[in-house]
Amino acid sequence: MKKIVLLLSLLFVLTFQFESAFSQRFPKPEFENGHQQPPTLTPAPRASLMQWFDVFVLLASLSVASWLVIKKRSRRGVFWLSVFSLAYFGFYREGCICPVGSVQNIVLGMFHPGYVIPATVVLFFAMPLIFTLFFGRTFCAGVCPLGAMQDLVLYKPVNLKPWLQKALGLIPYIYLGLAVLYAATATDFIICRYDPFVGFFRFDATFSMFFLGGIFMLMSLFIGRPYCRFLCPYGVLLNLTSLVSRKHLTIAPTKCIQCRLCEDSCPFGAIEVPSPVKPAEMRETTVQRFLILTIIIPVLVFAGGFAGGRIHEKLASVHPKVELAQHLLNPEKEVTEEMRVNLDAFKTAGKPTKELFAEVAVILHDFYVGGWILGGFLGLVFGLSLANLSKFKYQPDYITNKGTCFSCARCVDYCPVKDENPILQKPQN
Amino acid sequence: MEQHQEGNKIDRRKFLNSGIRATIVLGIGGLGFSLLKNLSAEELVWQLDASKCIQCGRCATSCIMTPSAVKCIHVYAMCGYCDLCGGFFRPETKQLTTAAENQLCPTSAIKRKFVEEPFFEYEIIENLCIGCGKCVKGCEAFGNGSLQLQVSHNLCKNCNQCAIARVCPADAFSRVPVKSPYLFKGFGNKKLVKPAEDDE
């Protein structure tokens, strides 16, 4: 019986093959007992409208953060806001979408017209920058879930030596440069891939992700916000914009009285200690330094660019197509199990090898140009930080470093100067 | 006199700062504007093109979720309701019973239900499915190919960079607007698949 039906159905298929829009080996059966074929379930994704709600929450929390930092000068307020942000952007939204990663979407959108970028992503990228431009890094203080994660577990901050801090502070530039390079060449989104905290937000991740996150969490107990200070690529942009911010958190509400109480209050090393008054520099020394720097910086830029251009193949080798082409070019190369599947998949797809090589040539050229730009950029960063270090800055008061300060408002609580302090106020007649 | 000079200096710095500030605002505005032509108001989600899928098994292992957000979805409209289901039974199976040793699925996520002679219905239990694609391969080899791997969007975290897309050898993943997140293969008629919210 079964065989007959099977045979009949096969016959049926063969006869009506050309009539049906799609060929099936076995036709859809007609049930005699009235059995209803269940619908195919395609669970819907989260509504698009919710994305706009996220934008609204971001705008609201940025406004509240700026108000708390600039107007209220309230550490407690910032603390509770960061708890909220951690809960909403972190654990509820599970770390996606975040402004830190949006850098890559923007870059991909710029270089690949085919990539349609959601408007909400552009807003997520731009809004914290604009707020920073006017109020300092209030985004870092109370809105960023990654920052909040580290800030809330900070138990016993250890002060790092200034030279170490300066040296490690260069890593974010490298990270940003690489992230932009890989996003521009549509290779990978490395910021998202190596996001150490997203695994905690989701309570689920691969072992390596948890491992990385665990290391950062352990470090965060003793080193204030290690990711923010020494890795965060978005922090680079915030740092630079914050330097020219219109308003910024100040330690003393009015005039600093140099009481030194705030000196050790900053766990992030962002308080600048007053410099002892130094005699004015000799004019010759200034000119000499200026001359040396005008030579050194272009040399560094060029050297960086040259080095970047030299290693462009290494940089490109993580691109899956480049990797594939490398294996096709030298078949003797040791093939991993994973690579074998890739090679098989490529062969079954039936794409001509020539086409792949042509594509890879374009990718390699992009990487060559990108390598030069990346190297030049890093050389410039290095040169400018040398210039910055060699310059003596006189400043009489305890102030926050506008670039590196996260506006967390911890120092505010240490300052004895009060706005309503009658002694400091102008005598009223 | 001295104070006046100092005041001037601060003003100059302020002027410079606001100049830079205005430049950055303009820059961000310009960036937004330049992106405008390929800007979409819609969110993007990850889509698995079932026609490209080669069932390599990486969906099961590479997703940041355990188990994977990629699941086997049964397109019933394509199913032949075979007794000897290539997606359900191991190739060398002798008895067509639901005994564990006969099943292809490593987690027994396929429920075999008798409908009427000689038809059986196969249902995927989403909680158990790990997205390994073994059944998909079997169904494609011996059946109609009605079992297909798809990103289950109620589970997908919609990572900015899908971890599976990065390692997919067939390049089957892409970012698509949220409107049409599923892409089945094998039939042109999209009406065969109903969105889940419609049946409630």
- Helices vs strands, H then E, count in chain A: 19, 3
Tell me, yes or no, whether B17 and B102 share the same domain. Answer: no
Q: Are A415 and A271 in contact (CB under 8 A)?
A: no
Q: Would residue B198 count as lying in a domain?
A: no
The domain in which residue B164 lies consists of: 44-187
DSSP string, B10-23: HHHHHHHHHHHHHH
Looking at beta carbons, which residues of chain A come within 8 Å of B38?
A: 109, 113-117
CA–CA separation, A273 and A286 (whole Å): 23
Indicate whether B10 and B28 sit together in one domain: yes
Assign A108 to helix, strand or coil.
Answer: helix
Helix (H, G, I), strand (E, B) or coil at B104: coil
pLDDT of A276: 78
Cβ-defined contact of B24 to A133 (cutoff 8 Å)? yes
Instruction: Verify that B89 and B14 share a domain, yes or no.
Output: no
Residues B88 and B141 in one domain: yes
User: Which residues lie below 8 Å from residue A268, measured CB to CB, with a gap of 6+?
Assistant: A224, A225, A228, A229, A404, A405, A406, A408
> Measured between CB atoms, which of B83, B126, B196 is closest to A2?
B83
For residue A401, give the 3-state DSSP assignment. coil
Q: What digits encode the pLDDT tens for the residues A267-300?
A: 999 999 888 777 677 888 889 999 999 999 999 9
Cα separation, B124 vs A388, whole angstroms = 63
In a structure prediction context, what are the per-residue pLDDT tens digits for chain B, which is 200 residues long? 344 445 566 678 888 888 999 999 999 988 888 887 777 777 889 999 999 999 999 999 999 888 999 999 999 988 999 899 999 999 888 888 888 889 999 999 999 999 888 899 999 999 999 999 999 999 999 889 999 999 999 999 888 889 999 999 998 999 998 888 899 987 654 444 544 443 33
Tell me the C-alpha distance between A214 and A330, whole Å: 40
What token pair was written down for A129? Answer: 């920058």
Are residues B33 and B119 located together in one domain of the fold?
A: no
Q: What angle do CA A326, A330, A334 make, to 5 degrees?
A: 85
Same domain, B12 and B56: no
Q: Cβ A28–B78 below 8 Å, yes or no?
A: yes
CB contact under 8 A, A35 and B44: no
Q: Does some domain include residue B158?
A: yes
Alpha helical stretches, state H, A258-330: 283-310, 312-316, 320-329
For residues B50 and B69, give the distance between their C-alpha atoms in angstroms, rounded to a whole number. Answer: 15
The rounded Cα B143 to chain-centroid distance in angstroms is 24
Cite the DSSP H helix spans in A26-158. Answer: 48-66, 75-85, 99-111, 119-135, 138-142, 145-153
pLDDT of residue B9: 60
Which residues in chain B have their CB less than 8 angstroms from residue A342's CB?
169
Burial class (CB in 10 A: 0-12, 13-18, 19+), A406: buried
Tell me how many domains chain B contains.
Answer: 2
Task: Give the residue from B21, B31, B32, B41 showing the smallest Cα distance to A131.
Answer: B21
Instruction: Map out the domains of chain A as residue ranges.
Output: 65-277+397-414, 283-390
CB B68, CB B57: distance < 8 Å: no
Same domain, B142 and B51: yes
ipTM score here? 0.82
The one-letter code for the residue type at B3 is Q
Same domain membership, residue B49 and residue B20? no
| Exposure class string for A89-116: b at 16+ Cβ within 10 A, else e | bbeebbbbbbbbbbbbbbbbbbeeeebb
Whether residues B33 and B103 share a domain: the answer is no
Q: Is B194 within 8 Å of A40 when comparing Cβ atoms?
A: yes
Q: Are residues B48 and B8 in the same domain?
A: no
| Whole-angstrom distance, CA of residue B73 vs CA of residue B53 | 13
Full pLDDT tens readout for chain A, 429 residues:
455 555 545 444 444 444 344 557 888 888 888 888 888 888 888 777 888 999 999 999 999 999 999 999 999 999 999 999 999 999 998 888 889 999 999 999 999 888 888 889 999 999 999 999 999 999 999 999 999 999 999 999 999 999 999 999 999 999 999 999 999 999 999 999 899 999 899 888 878 889 999 999 999 999 999 999 999 999 999 999 999 999 999 999 988 999 999 988 999 999 998 887 776 778 888 899 999 999 999 999 999 999 999 999 999 999 999 999 999 988 888 888 889 889 988 988 888 999 999 999 999 999 999 999 999 999 999 999 999 888 877 888 899 999 999 999 999 999 998 876 555 555 544
Nearest to A45 among B45, B81, B198 (CB): B45
In a shared domain, residues B27 and B106: no
Which residues of chain A make contact with B150, given a CB cutoff of 8 A?
A: 42
B196 occurs within a structural domain: no
User: Same domain, yes or no, for B140 and B121?
Assistant: yes
